[in-house]
């Protein structure tokens, strides 16, 4: 069972989830990929959103790169939210856009 950045033996709810020790395994990489390689949908592919990654590439081609601002904003959003909120939103609930 994947624990997404913390050890949770026995599958019990983590009682110390708000103590600041929680660390997301994907947040930093997804944020930097969105900012640096978002034109190619790298952040989407990294998070497992293959269809959205392809859509990002096609939209960037059709708009001559103007749509690059979308993954740039997403990367900033990823990096500014808490690790727990990022994992809950984009890893567990699979929210594809913003």
At 1, the pLDDT band (50, 70, 90 cuts) reads very low
**54: pLDDT strictly greater than 70:** yes
Enumerate the domain spans of the chain. 24-92
With a CB cutoff of 8 Å and minimum separation 6, the contacts of 33 are 42, 43, 46, 75
pLDDT digits (tens, 9 = 90+) for 2-40: 555 555 544 445 444 555 678 888 999 999 999 999 999
Closest of 52, 24, 57 to residue 39, by C-alpha: 57
pLDDT digits (tens, 9 = 90+) for 55-92: 999 999 999 989 999 999 999 999 999 999 999 999 88
């Amino acid at each position: 069972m994947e624990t997404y950045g913390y050890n949770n033996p026995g599958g019990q709810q983590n009682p110390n989830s708000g103590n600041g020790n929680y660390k997301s395994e994907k947040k930093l990489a997804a944020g930097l990929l969105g900012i640096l390689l978002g034109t190619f949908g790298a952040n989407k592919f990294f998070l497992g959103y293959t269809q959205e990654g392809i859509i990002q590439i096609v939209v960037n081609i059709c708009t001559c790169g103007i749509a690059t601002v979308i993954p740039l904003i997403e990367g900033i959003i990823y990096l500014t939210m808490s690790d727990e909120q990022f994992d809950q939103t984009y890893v567990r609930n699979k929210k594809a856009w913003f």
